[in-house]
Structure 1
Amino acid sequence: MGQKPSVGRVVHYVSCGTPGGEYTSECRAAIVAEVDEYQPGEGRFIGHVNLCVLNPKGVFFDAGVLQDEEHRRGGTWHWPERV
């Protein structure tokens, strides 16, 4: 089974970017503020987390964010890559 998110863990939030392409979708550091639901399944977390997202121009909060390790779509979170 994969890692379980918990309050205080650092994850990557994928920004949505803008429709016109002025800003691209990028990974941002985020801290898990709350775990809404936890259901183990398919070796990964299934459910939502609430995040405090750290952005170079400020901080914002996003609630009900889904995990997406495979496609990493805008508006989702994933575990940081190991480097």
Structure 2
Amino acid sequence: MDDIVLYGADWCGDCRRAKTWLRENKVAFTEVDVEHDEAARARAVELSGRKNIPVIVLPGGTVLVEPTNAELKAALGL
């Protein structure tokens, strides 16, 4: 499976929750910090059409914005 990319920031509660859920379910992901990287922030907005985070890009290109744990589970087929 290709790596999942999570665009987020350390101060973001939804980002921390999503990262915790992914780790607990042993789902590999790459974290991209949008707070300190303007290009990454612009890419997250481009992908999602919104300024909300986290923006999670799944293998195959599906984009989730601020997903709940249940939405993550369903999207990943877990």
Higher share of residues assigned strand: 1
Shared fold (TM-score greater than 0.5)? no
TM-score by length of 1: 0.27
TM-score by length of 2: 0.27
